Structure 1
Amino acid sequence: MTAKLPAAIELLRFTDRQHCAEAVAAHVAAALALDIADHGSASLAVSGGSTPAPMFKTLSRLDLGWDKVAVTLADERWVSPDHADSNQAKVQQLLLQNDAAAANYIPLWNNHSDGAADAAALAQTEQALQQLPEKLSCVILGMGNDGHTASLFPCSSELASLWDAESAAAWCQPTTAPHQRITLTPQRLFASKERILHLNGLDKLETLMKALAGTDVSEMPIRAFLNQPITVFWAP
């Protein structure tokens, strides 16, 4: 399966998922270490789902001065951390362990207004995100087969307003997936020195090629990120 890649995209293919995960972890660790060396601190936004799990485990064991690293999520289901669908729970269980336990974790979810997804809760998340630098060291994205990334869903009525949103985070309610979502906005995700797209499976490669074949970001939001520099790590 081939397609002409835009100059800004680097596609790295691996024969198996573990080697791919290890390569992503090494790449991210190098980016964080560079910012720590240059600026004394680094920052990382990660995605949930099953794909990053082995990468999280590998990254958590890499010694790079984690006490100088701030970690947040690219998006989150608006459920408490003890919920089975919480991205925060997976990050805490898999990434914020071993050496990475020293990192400063900045959650998107909060229990303001008793956990309701309202303006006050969003404002509290925005305030928490102010701890991050103007430009994140690295953002790790995933992609659904509908072309969504973070919680930028093509089925969401909020999507059109998110492209020009000046806030760091926003609500997004998909109709094809459960739970109210909170997501870093495209502007906040693009305010990063490096972006990575981590994919597993032939279906994801097919989705990537479909996304590259078109231009409508409302149909497949991942297209917005494929128009900018990004490194894609893929394994079957």
Structure 2
Amino acid sequence: MEGDWRMKIETYPDFDMLTLNVAQRIAGDLNAALLHQDRALLAVPGGTTPGPIFDDLCAADIEWSRVDIILTDERWVPGDHPRSNTKLLKERLLVNRAAEASLLPLHVATETPEEGLPKLIPGLEARLPISVAVLGMGADMHTASLFPDSAELTSALAQDAPVLIPVRPASQPEARVTLAAHVLNGALHKHIVFKGKDKRDALDAALHLPAQKAPIRAVLDGATVHYSES
């Protein structure tokens, strides 16, 4: 760890223990937020890693009717598409007690994200800041849809960026939208979750690189990193 960062790394013996602990931490953070404000905003990733966390979190004793949930990023596909992260949320997080939460959409029925963002941004801006952000990280050091090979990365890293950014990374088959780096970094609580030695090595490398090459750098300050090797 470099400089004055307050990043904390917590290592777990296995992913099952990580999953349970992270779900408990998120629940605690949300309950704490609801003590001081009318509503809380939870931002979560898609992909395979967070699914087990959602399975535990959805049963947590939280006043879910006061919680808004948003994805950190989304592919520009309909919500019932097999590659939609929204589909994952509806199947594994917005169930059980958490069925009472409100989902803020990151897709509308337009051909391109540029056409749809004016319909999405005002509703999101009204609910910021994020109370709790859960983030993943790829071996290429991306987080959300802040990819190193994205031509839009510089714009997405800017402090004055719009809250939602359309991106078309060369490594990805679809256009996407992502929360801007400053929106993610401004979360009151940040939990970064990953497993595998390759990703731990990537995090160590990211500490010595600028955010333009290692986008995860843009959200590390004050974050808790949860890691298991397997």
Instruction: Give the structure-2-normalised TM-score.
Output: 0.94
**1:144 matched to which residue of 2?**
138
- AA matched with 2:140: D
**2:210 matched to which residue of 1?**
216
- AA matched with 2:47: G
Q: 1:207: Cα distance to partner?
A: 1.1
Aligned partners of 1:93, 1:5: CA distance in 2, in Å? 41
**2:18 matched to which residue of 1?**
20
**1:230 matched to which residue of 2?**
223
- AA matched with 2:91: Q
Q: Pairwise CA RMSD of aligned residues? A: 1.5
What's the secondary structure of 2:178's corresponding residue?
A: strand
Q: 1:128: Cα distance to partner?
A: 2.8
Residue 36 of structure 1 is aligned with which of 15, 26, 34?
34
Aligned partners of 1:16, 1:110: CA distance in 2, in Å? 38
Residue 163 of structure 1 is aligned with which of 152, 157, 171?
157
Aligned pairs for 1:1-236 (under 5 A) are 7-111=5-109, 115-132=110-127, 134-164=128-158, 165-212=160-207, 214-226=208-220, 228-236=221-229
What's the secondary structure of 2:89's corresponding residue?
A: helix
Aligned partners of 1:59, 1:217: CA distance in 2, in Å? 31
- The Cα offsets for residues 123-155 of structure 1, whole Å up to 9 and x where unpaired, read as 1111231341x3211111111111110101110
Aligned partners of 2:115, 2:5: CA distance in 1, in Å? 42
Aligned partners of 2:5, 2:48: CA distance in 1, in Å? 29
Q: 1:178: Cα distance to partner?
A: 1.8
The alignment-based identity, stated in percent, is 33
- AA matched with 1:38: H
Instruction: Give the structure-1-normalised TM-score.
Output: 0.92
Aligned partners of 1:4, 1:221: CA distance in 2, in Å? 16
- The Cα offsets for residues 42-79 of structure 1, whole Å up to 9 and x where unpaired, read as 11000011110100000000011000100001000111
Q: 1:5: Cα distance to partner?
A: 9.0
What's the secondary structure of 2:133's corresponding residue?
A: strand
Q: 1:224: Cα distance to partner?
A: 1.6
- AA matched with 1:40: D
Q: 1:189: Cα distance to partner?
A: 1.2
Does the 8 A contact of 2:113 with 2:177 survive in 1? no
What's the secondary structure of 1:35's corresponding residue?
A: helix
Which ranges in structure 1 are unaligned for 5 or more consecutive residues?
none
- AA matched with 2:148: P
What's the secondary structure of 1:39's corresponding residue?
A: coil
What's the secondary structure of 1:38's corresponding residue?
A: coil
- The Cα offsets for residues 57-113 of structure 1, whole Å up to 9 and x where unpaired, read as 0000001100010000100011111111111000111000000000011011111xx
Q: 1:191: Cα distance to partner?
A: 2.3
What's the secondary structure of 1:128's corresponding residue?
A: helix
Q: 1:4: Cα distance to partner?
A: 6.9
